[in-house]
Amino acid sequence: MLVSEVLQEITSHRADGKPLTLEAGIIRVADALDMAKGRSRIPFEHGKVGIHSLSAAAIEEVTIKDGEAHPILIEIQMNNSSGIYQVDGLLKAKLRGSGLEPYVEVVAHIDTESEKRLIQVYRLET
């Protein structure tokens, strides 16, 4: 039984995976939360510049807190709006179908003086 649970959680964390348990959904979303700038440091330093490395470099911090509108609030601090790709492109895909959608609110803040602000706050709509 334990082996089947673990295998299901492993396959569920992939983009095309379908979590069958809340635990598998948590692992799926947790995998997407590993988006802070340190993640892209090595590819970026080796000249591999793309939306994945740039958007990850734009993520300063990810925090999980008690929410107001939903039980869980995920706040993402960005230094550049390119980080929206991590939020809307990657996190949103992992959150959809996880079973956690009714419990999680995601808010990304773009806090910088050096970037032309197109938006101040981005709320993920699932």
Label residue 60 left, alpha or beta by phi (over 0 means left) and psi (-120 to 50 means alpha).
alpha
| Predicted local confidence at residue 120, as pLDDT | 67
What confidence tier does 117 reach under pLDDT thresholds 50, 70, 90? low
pLDDT, one tens digit per residue, over 25-74 is: 999 999 889 887 666 555 556 666 677 777 888 888 999 999 999 999 99
The whole-number average pLDDT for the span 72-79 is 94
The whole-number average pLDDT for the span 11-28 is 85
Write down the H helix ranges in the chain.
2-12, 22-32, 41-45, 51-57, 84, 92-95
| Predicted local confidence at residue 11, as pLDDT | 83
